[in-house]
């Protein structure tokens, strides 16, 4: 009986898959760009199979040492928190934390969560930490628990006990922009932004006789923005080999490039990233800790200096509304059913996605082309170098010592050479005994 039900299901599943194929295949063949993207996905899947099968070697004892140290500090923090609160409680429970903070200790409520609970997220805790001792303990406890629970404990558990390697799975059809996603374990969110977190990367190693190489695209999304917008100032900044955030600051603040302070450069960097994501004056103000008017002035000033970017953003929005989708340089589409929604928040969300997707998606297209190209060369030349990870704008390799010079020389060349945009692509490679050093 169960066999028959399974058979019935299998037939129906195959039949409907065939219907989908018959509907979509002619559309793919009729459009050169869609055919290119389809072809890229098939080739990518073949390269990704190799990457997944390779896996990455993990230094288990190093992670165990880190887990132990984190565990000790976590217990200390728990005891310090109990002393301040006057009672033990679960530091990992937002609900219990809310009761201690807002009911027992009478701390002010800064904001509410989506469901109306009193928020205890990082931003709230940072603010409360200025006036009270407990929030700082919670913040440190949260970050260390995250490191231990998600990385130092988990990666060691997930390594193959015979080979010491972890094998992630890459999903090719999850991220709507065309990016890959990585799961079980996710190797695309390994810490790097803090010194403590970064140590996890020391446990991503190569076997004896090999080293780790990391090759990443430099400012790829801003280069793509320069290409798509045809903005003269942005193109020139890249063409002249300038530090693009510094160049942006020079324009926005009306200075020469070498007069830009580090503070001004930091502002420009936030502005540049904000633009890629469709950030508003409100968002920029919050990100920079300045008032709304000042943020609005920066944006106005930016769009005066980079008029091509302004035009591109407006055109992209208009095009999305007119045809219902946006596309990457190579023709990958993102459909935006809510772009003309009557509900303003939904419409605004779709507009931000419309701005971002061509840039994020083109970057995804380019690194897929790189992976396919490099894997093909490695095979054709019968090299020992293996691709072991992809992290959106970065490829990580395990490299036999004899091939180090080849990787240094050739990998960035292949990555930069996959396409000729209006601005040159640039890839940089680093080598080392582990992923932290290589980066």
Partner DNA sequence: AGGTTAAGCGCG
Partner DNA sequence: AAAGCGCGCTTAACCT
Of the pair 125, 329, the CB lying nearest DNA is at 125
Maximum Cα–Cα distance across the chain: 79
Tokens found for residue 399: 């490299």
Chosen residue from 277, 303, 325, 406 binding DNA by CB under 7 A: 277
Residue 121 binds DNA (CB under 7 A): yes
Taking residues 394 to 423 in sequence order and writing x for each that binds DNA by CB under 7 A, - otherwise, the string is x-----------------------------
Question: Which alpha helices (H) appear in 31-59, and where do they start and end?
Answer: 32-54
Residue 434 binds DNA (CB under 7 A): no
Of the pair 5, 193, the CB lying nearest DNA is at 193
Of the pair 129, 233, the CB lying nearest DNA is at 129
Chosen residue from 136, 255, 276, 419 binding DNA by CB under 7 A: 276
Residues in CB range of 127: below 8 A, 6 or more apart? 110
Task: Considering only the stretches 48-56, 72-80, 159-167, 342-350, report the one whose residues sit in contact with DNA under the rule CB under 7 A.
Answer: 342-350
Residue 307 binds DNA (CB under 7 A): no
- Applying CB under 7 A, the site for DNA has a residue count of 71
Helix, coil or strand: residue 297 = helix
Residues in CB range of 193: below 8 A, 6 or more apart? none
- CB-CB contact of 425 with 217 (8 Å): yes
Phi, psi of 422 (to 5 degrees): -65, -20
**Terminal alpha carbon distance of the chain:** 57
Task: Considering only the stretches 16-24, 30-38, 146-154, 202-210, report the one whose residues sit in contact with DNA under the rule CB under 7 A.
Answer: 146-154
Helix, coil or strand: residue 399 = strand
Q: Which of residues 157-176 bind DNA (CB under 7 A)?
A: 171, 174-176
Residue 233 binds DNA (CB under 7 A): no
Residue 297 binds DNA (CB under 7 A): no
Q: How far apart are CA 399 and CA 406, in angstroms?
A: 10
Residue 105 binds DNA (CB under 7 A): no
Residues in CB range of 147: below 8 A, 6 or more apart? 66, 70, 191, 196, 197, 200
Of the pair 197, 331, the CB lying nearest DNA is at 197
Least distance to DNA from the beta carbon of 392, Å? 3
Residue 122 binds DNA (CB under 7 A): yes
Task: Considering only the stretches 7-15, 23-31, 86-94, 381-389, report the one whose residues sit in contact with DNA under the rule CB under 7 A.
Answer: 86-94
Q: How far apart are CA 110 and CA 128, in angstroms?
A: 8
Residue 266 binds DNA (CB under 7 A): no
């Amino acid at each position: 009986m169960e066999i028959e039900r399974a058979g019935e299901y299998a037939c129906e599943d195959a039949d409907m898959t065939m219907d989908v194929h018959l509907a979509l295949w002619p559309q793919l063949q009729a459009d050169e760009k869609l055919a290119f993207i389809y072809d890229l996905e098939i080739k990518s899947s073949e390269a990704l199979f190799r990457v997944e099968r390779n896996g990455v070697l993990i230094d288990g004892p190093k992670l165990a040492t880190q887990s132990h140290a984190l565990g000790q500090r976590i217990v200390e923090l728990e005891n310090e928190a109990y002393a301040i609160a006057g009672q033990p409680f679960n530091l990992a429970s937002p609900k219990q934390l809310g009761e201690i903070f807002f009911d027992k200790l009478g701390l002010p409520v800064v904001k509410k969560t989506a469901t109306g609970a009193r928020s205890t997220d990082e931003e709230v805790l940072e603010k409360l930490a200025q006036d009270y001792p407990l929030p700082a303990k919670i913040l440190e406890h949260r970050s260390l628990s995250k490191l231990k629970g998600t990385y130092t404990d988990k990666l060691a558990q997930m390594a193959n006990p015979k080979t010491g390697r972890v094998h992630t799975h890459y999903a090719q059809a999850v991220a709507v922009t065309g990016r890959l996603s990585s799961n079980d374990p996710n190797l695309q969110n390994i810490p790097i932004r803090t010194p403590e977190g970064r140590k996890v990367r020391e446990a991503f190693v190569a076997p004896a006789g090999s080293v780790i190489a990391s090759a990443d695209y430099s400012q790829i999304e801003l280069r793509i923005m320069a290409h798509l917008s045809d903005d003269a100032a942005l193109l020139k900044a890249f063409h002249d080999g300038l530090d693009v955030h510094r160049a942006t600051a020079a324009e926005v603040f009306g200075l020469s490039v070498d007069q830009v302070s580090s503070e001004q450069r930091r502002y420009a960097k936030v502005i540049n990233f904000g633009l890629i994501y469709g950030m508003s004056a409100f968002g920029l103000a919050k990100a920079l800790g300045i008032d709304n008017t000042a943020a609005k002035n920066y944006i106005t000033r930016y769009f005066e200096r980079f008029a091509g970017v302004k035009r591109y953003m407006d055109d992209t929005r208009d095009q999305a509304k007119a045809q219902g989708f946006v596309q990457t340089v190579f023709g990958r589409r993102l459909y935006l059913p809510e772009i003309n929604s009557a509900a303003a928040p939904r419409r605004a969300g779709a507009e931000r996605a419309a701005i971002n997707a061509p840039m994020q998606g083109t970057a995804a297209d380019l690194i897929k082309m790189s992976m396919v190209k490099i894997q093909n060369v490695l095979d054709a030349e019968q090299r020992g170098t293996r691709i072991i990870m992809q992290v959106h704008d970065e490829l990580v390799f395990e490299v036999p010592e004899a091939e180090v010079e080849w990787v240094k020389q050739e990998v960035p060349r292949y990555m930069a050479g996959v396409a000729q945009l209006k601005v040159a692509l640039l890839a940089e490679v680093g080598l080392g005994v582990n992923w932290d050093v290589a980066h």
